[in-house]
Amino acid sequence: MRERFHEVLTPEALTFLAELHRTFDARRRDLLAKRTEREAELAAGGTLDFLEETRHIREGDWRVADPAPGLEDRRVEITGPTDAKMAINALNSGAKVWLADHEDANTPLWENVIAGQLNLRDAIERKLSFTSPEGKRYALKDGELATIVVRPRGWHLTEKHILVDGERMSGSLVDFGLYFFHCAKLQLERGSGPYFYLPKMESHLEARLWNDVFVLAQERLGIPGGTIRATVLVETYPAAFEMEEILYELREHSAGLNAGRWDYIFSAIKKFRTRGKDFLLPDRNSVTMTAPFMRAYTELLVRTCHKRGAHAIGGMAAFIPNRRDPEVNEAALEKVRADKTREANDGFDGSWVAHPDLVPICREVFDGVLGEAPNQRDKTRDEISVTAAQLLDVKDTPGEMTETGLRNAVSVGIQYLAAWLRGSGAVAIFNLMEDAATAEISRSQVWQWLHNDVTLADSREKVTRELIDRITAEEIAKLGDDPSGYDEARALFMEVAVADDFADFLTLPAYERMP
């Protein structure tokens, strides 16, 4: 692929990126500083609440833009990285939308960043193909493919391989800018458009920055305003209190909100990690969508979106079907069906899956609720009223903190980081497709339990550094590989899971270990 990188890194495209950086990077860094200030306020005893200064927006009469072509019916969305094989499988899967991921399911190796852009353009032009080392050929099918929606990196990540005036560029602006520059007009010519998923935002001011980026980008390429459409992942705790404001800032470019539930759980831990037992969560696998604070979050999301005419998209089904174990397979598929049924009945317009084999289940469930209708944005859920206290009610989450859960967190975290450092951001572990979000939950729970003197319910042991070290050695030994192959992943996991200082994102120190 390297011989084609010049097709992406053209002088014109790099000039466009430089303008984005010079226009917006100072604001980006100011907004990241505001995150740090807010986190310090929470650590000092503050809390989260709906903003008084934006009450007029929440009480105002406004709606977002009507759905753009290819985004009216989103009943099944499949997620995954942009390598050729995964891209072809996603586009052929029968899903309505493919979230083409340059973020949590992608490792930002330079090869991945640029090859992903080439694969996206080739897919739009229906030229994308792939032949495996075993000789199996993958190609795009004839007929309708999933609508492409690109997820760039979050505002906090930088790109070390592109410098402007001696400074690293924002990973967000690199991923957005290259795709938009090369593919926006191609998509419009084919009756679609440049569509995006925006991750990790913590405030409506960060949404305002994205909107200003969109306005400038459309002007530079001579594309009408409002052509870009963006769906925002509500996957940080602060963003849950600013859903309406985020939609408002993006309203002519808005395509809705998504319940990014795994990162949301991570954010809940991160923001209140020093606040004691009222914010301690049980084992990750015990934190379901029926937990009170998660239920409040999803109910508010549907109510907010449909009040403003926007799509509400449900959370991820991460299970990977295992044809060799029918019993495990059947039990897991029933859980997926129940999860999607709850979402469809709650008013969501669609939902996410991580594997093509789950597309038929998700489609069947939403077909049963939507019928021939493309969505249920008219289901406004006027009866829903969610308070700040309900969103913050972590303490009533059922479940226990166990050695089994601790072992799972350590094993998943280390296995994921080992794969990430080798260049893979979407990793099959214990029959689940794990990405950076679930690894973040794993390491943040270990940190929280360690720093809050948790005693495990099953073993009655207190979580200490010594216990974590012992469990880590035992779990690595179970993997059956040469233990030394996990040395770097183990060191990184310990850096982000047990150190006194809590790293905001594990991908930050991980990226610095990458060429």
**Annotated catalytic, 339?**
no
Mention every residue, 6+ apart, whose C-beta is less than 8 A from residue 12: 181
The catalytic residue among 151, 261, 303, 342 is: 151
Backbone angles phi, psi at 351, to 5 degrees: -155, 170
Contact 258, 201 (CB under 8 A): no
Q: Which of 444, 415, 420 is nearest to 431 (CA)?
A: 415
Contact 253, 283 (CB under 8 A): no
Alpha carbon of residue 189 to chain centroid = 29
Q: Which of 330, 321, 508 is nearest to 433 (CA)?
A: 321
- What's the one-letter identity of residue 495? E
How far is the C-alpha of 194 from the C-alpha of 238, rounded, in Å? 27
Q: Which of 2, 12, 96 is nearest to 374 (CA)?
A: 96
Q: Please report where in the chains the tokens 């979580």 appear, as a residue.
A: 463
How far is the C-alpha of 340 from the C-alpha of 334, rounded, in Å? 10
Q: And the tokens for 92?
A: 């052929």
The catalytic residue among 73, 435, 443, 490 is: 435
In angstroms, the first-to-last Cα distance of the chain is 17
The angle, 0 to 180 degrees and rounded to 10, between the axes of the packed helices 436-451 and 465-478 is 150
Q: How many residues does the chain have?
A: 515
Helix (H) or strand (E) holding 221: helix 204-221
Cα–Cα distances in angstroms (integers) from residue 169 to residues 26, 29, 31, 176, in the given order: 11, 11, 15, 12
Contact 93, 356 (CB under 8 A): yes
**Annotated catalytic, 151?**
yes
Q: And the tokens for 250?
A: 């993006």
By CB neighbour count within 10 A (0-12 exposed, 13-18 middle, 19+ buried), where does 266 fall?
A: buried
Backbone angles phi, psi at 412, to 5 degrees: -60, -45
* SS3 label, residue 77: strand
How far is the C-alpha of 326 from the C-alpha of 332, rounded, in Å? 10
How far is the C-alpha of 242 from the C-alpha of 50, rounded, in Å? 7
Q: Within 13 A of 377's CA, how many CA atoms are on the CB side?
A: 21
Catalytic amino acids? 151, 435
